[in-house]
Amino acid sequence: MAERFSDFEKPLVSKQPSLEERLKEYPQLKTKIETMLAIIENAGGDVKKAAEAERRIIEELRQMGNEVLHGWARRQQQKMEEEYGAKPGVNRKEKKALLVHATGENRNSRTDLHPGRPQIRPFCESAEVKCRGYSEALQRALTDFGADEAFARAAAKLKEHYGIEVAVSAICGFTEGHGAAKRSHDKQKSDGRDQAGVPVLIAEMDGSMLPVVEVAEPVAGGARRDRRKSRQVSWKEARLALAHEPGSVTPIFGATLGGVVEDAGEHLAVCTPEAGAGSQTRIHGVGDGAVWITEQREAQFGTKRGIWSTAIIFATTCRRPER
């Protein structure tokens, strides 16, 4: 059988440490790997059901990921300190442990390197992190749960699915903050009409009343009761906005349920640039004659002729068929 490595490559391969030698530098990570192997081999004989094996594996993987992340951070911090420490005129100042990971552990001390003033934190600048910050992945999870459920329920879901405890106020802040940023981004998109765009777009808005059924929330620890008896029926107006080129069968939609008419107008303003509107596009507005549709069309597009044409208002008349 042919040798795996050539004579030239053998000295390079022999210099590389083995996996066992590398793991000696990370005893906590080595312990986690041994625990994973014990689960696979079922050394204790207590893992017989798939659900229990899944639960243990997920928990060990979370802890292992935590160890890997902290190990990377410690090495990067040491590397950046050595680089900045070699620069002339840089003084080193140690402070208390302030770097808090998302799991709630204080594992690293913060080092300030400052040539006089201002202070420089090499690791924070290179890794683009800040004290008591939240990673992008964690912010995404907080926002997803916060947008779907009440903030208190979102905190419980985060603990269940990710094993991370976060204050309800943090979920509220990130969810509302990302929502405001998206709203501002959509507004900027609707205002940006630098390109000529398509010649003509058809923009439509309409509303319809929908029945909404609400029932009382169950009380934790309370007696069970028939929630159907607490049912309340109300009506909310759903407003639909869309924009498309003439002849297109793939319009861009936007919709609201309840709220104010200005929200529907902003949705229409966002739909038009996504459908191809530009600085030279003529917008043909279509509606049923409702006052709020005309007002929102004028508020978003104006009444200037040559660029934004006036709305086309139509009304349908119904009459009984003749016998």
Judge contact between 63 and 30, C-beta under 8 A. no
Tell me what the pLDDT averaged over the chain comes to: 76
Name the domain boundary from 79, 109, 127: 127
When pLDDT is cut at 50, 70 and 90, the band that residue 12 belongs to is low
User: Coil, strand, or helix at residue 21?
Assistant: helix
Q: Are residues 295 and 262 in the same domain?
A: yes
- 6 in any annotated domain: no
Which residue has 């940023």 as its token pair? 181
Q: Are residues 115 and 143 in the same domain?
A: no
- 225 in any annotated domain: no
Instruction: Output the pLDDT for position 125.
Output: 76
- 286 in any annotated domain: yes
User: Coil, strand, or helix at residue 193?
Assistant: coil
Q: Are residues 27 and 111 in the same domain?
A: yes
Instruction: Output the pLDDT for position 128.
Output: 76
- 141 in any annotated domain: yes
Q: Are residues 304 and 197 in the same domain?
A: yes
When pLDDT is cut at 50, 70 and 90, the band that residue 305 belongs to is very low
Instruction: Output the pLDDT for position 101.
Output: 41
pLDDT at 102 over 70: no
Q: Are residues 166 and 271 in the same domain?
A: no
- 68 in any annotated domain: yes
Q: What is the mean pLDDT of residues 17-29?
A: 84
Q: Are residues 156 and 204 in the same domain?
A: no
When pLDDT is cut at 50, 70 and 90, the band that residue 103 belongs to is very low
Q: Are residues 181 and 245 in the same domain?
A: no
Give residue 51's domain range. Answer: 13-127
pLDDT at 126 over 50: yes
How many domains, the chain?
3
Q: Are residues 32 and 46 in the same domain?
A: yes
Instruction: Output the pLDDT for position 241.
Output: 92
- 296 in any annotated domain: yes
Q: Are residues 287 and 238 in the same domain?
A: yes
pLDDT at 314 over 50: no
Domain CATH code at residue 285: 3.30.420.10
Q: Are residues 82 and 178 in the same domain?
A: no
- 122 in any annotated domain: yes
When pLDDT is cut at 50, 70 and 90, the band that residue 87 belongs to is confident
Which residue has 């929200």 as its token pair? 263
The rounded Cα 234 to chain-centroid distance in angstroms is: 32
When pLDDT is cut at 50, 70 and 90, the band that residue 130 belongs to is confident
pLDDT at 304 over 80: no
- 321 in any annotated domain: no
What one-character DSSP code corresponds to residue 68?
H
Q: Which residues of 112-147 are buried (b: 16+ CB within 10 A; e: fewer)?
A: ebeeeeeebbbbbeeeebeeeebeeebbebbbebbe
Instruction: Output the pLDDT for position 288.
Output: 82
Q: What are 180-238's pLDDT values in tens digits?
A: 887 776 666 555 556 778 888 898 999 999 998 888 777 766 677 777 788 888 999 99
Q: What is the mean pLDDT of residues 76-105?
A: 62
pLDDT at 307 over 70: no
Q: Are residues 160 and 200 in the same domain?
A: no
Q: Are residues 121 and 29 in the same domain?
A: yes
Q: What are 52-61's pLDDT values in tens digits?
A: 888 888 888 8
Which residue has 């979920």 as its token pair? 171
